[in-house]
């Protein structure tokens, strides 16, 4: 995972930084601020879902052809504990890759502790 890329799009507007992608893996760094918190004062679940979807999408892109387009067809996020303001790291990896479907998983950590685990299936559109 040597290549550093911008996440482009919605995740970038949130402040996500795609630190590395390659060989079916990706790493995203994110700084949780007050604007990312829910009414309970913890990291909003929708932000977490966006981060894991972004990281897994980048992992799939790194494992497919230049003209292939991955599209999330299923996403499951298991929230393990609430996040707080500060840095969050997301790591994603391709687990199974077929001709048209790819399965990934991702982990979200803050201060070395797991916040969430996600699994997704991506449809790979061949262009």
Tell me how far CA of residue 76 lies from CA of 7, 60, 91, 118, 120, in angstroms. Answer: 21, 16, 15, 6, 6
Q: Structural domain boundaries of the chain?
A: 10-126
> 1 falls in which pLDDT band (50, 70, 90)?
low
pTM of the model: 0.90
Range of 1-10, 12-21, 28-37 with top mean pLDDT:
28-37
- At 20, the pLDDT band (50, 70, 90 cuts) reads confident
Query: Hey, is 60 helix, strand or coil?
Result: helix
CATH architecture of 10-126: Roll (3.10)
């Amino acid at each position: 995972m040597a290549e550093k890329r911008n996440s482009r799009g919605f995740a970038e507007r949130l402040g996500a930084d795609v630190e590395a992608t390659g060989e079916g893996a990706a790493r995203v760094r994110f700084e949780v601020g007050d604007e990312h918190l829910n009414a309970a004062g913890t990291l909003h679940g929708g932000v977490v879902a966006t981060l894991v979807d972004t990281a897994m999408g980048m992992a799939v892109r790194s494992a497919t052809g230049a003209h292939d387009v991955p599209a999330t067809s299923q996403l499951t996020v298991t929230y393990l504990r609430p996040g707080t303001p500060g840095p969050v790291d997301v790591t994603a990896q391709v687990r199974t890759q077929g001709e048209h479907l790819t399965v990934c998983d991702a982990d979200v950590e803050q201060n070395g502790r797991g916040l969430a685990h996600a699994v997704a299936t991506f449809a790979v559109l061949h262009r």
